[in-house]
Amino acid sequence: MIDAKTKLYGLIGKPVEHSLSPAIHNALFKKYNINAVYLAFEVDDLESAVKGIRGLKISGLNVTMPYKEQILEFLDGLSEEANAIGSVNTVVNREGKLIGYNTDGIGTLKALKRFTEVEGKRVLLLGAGGAGKAITYTLSRLAKVVVLNRTEKKAKELEKFGVKGEKLSKESLEYYLSWADIVINATSLGMNEDKTPIPKELLKEKLVVFDIVYSPLETKLLRETRKFGCLTIDGLWMLIYQGAESFRLWTGVKPDVEFMRKVALEALKSERRSI
């Protein structure tokens, strides 16, 4: 029941109307009897939005595109990983101080560990954007990582984390697919479209293939690599695990990820029916 003691959490970004986060977090608040609500806010003016967060004493936020990097200048502090990556997807209001975190990397790592070993493995990461940076930072401490990106400069910038960065081309893709144990698509290619970052003729057997895109749940990349006998992991697992870490930072409660996935799948089905 919403009352004067109800805490407010939310998501800021643009667009946010199809986000699964409100369904997931509100279900968690109900499950754990936490007097709180979670709303999605489509933001045009980030500076004004952050002032409103302070003024309304909003307890915590998720941050999505295009504000993951822009929000840094408006915060009071950053966690170690958020500072290193230069990107924030979670904000915690600690007695008026807004502290930024990034849970994308740990979300990816936990999703991977659910299905396979990571330590000492060879990881090929496609994409050096916000999610790619977070994933690189986290995995570079456990595995050998190569980052391929259409803009070579962005891939090279991630070499500060002790990885190798190169331009994404058919030649580099073919070479590193033969080298890799795990392939992660951290690009948006395949999101709501039947496209894949890996041409069919370059596919290899017995890879672990993780696509962080979750709409559609089975992307063309996952569909084609599964036919080659690869172990495939859908992007909803990353969303669930990074959201679980956000929830823990806000509330101190380690949530049930199986429950979260069930809620998310139901919300996806409902969304498809409404479109």
SS3 category, 60: strand
68 is known as an active-site residue:
yes
Binding site as annotated, residues for shikimate = 19-21, 64, 89, 104, 214, 242
What token pair was written down for 38?
């979670």
What token pair was written down for 154?
């962005």
State the Cα–Cα distance between residues 28 and 117, nearest whole angstrom.
29
DSSP 61-80: EEE-TT-TTGGGGG-SEE-H
DSSP 65-118: TT-TTGGGGG-SEE-HHHHHHT--SEEEEETTEEEEE--HHHHHHHHHHHHS--
Binding site as annotated, residues for NADP(+) = 80, 127-131, 149-154, 212, 235
Binding site as annotated, residues = 19-21, 64, 80, 89, 104, 127-131, 149-154, 212, 214, 235, 242
Which entry of 5, 57, 68, 195 is annotated as an active-site residue?
68
- Are 209 and 177 a contacting pair, CB within 8 Å? no
**Closest C-alpha among 123, 212, 201, 191 to residue 162:** 123
Angle between helices 257-274 and 236-251 (to 10 degrees): 120
Show which residues are catalytic. 68
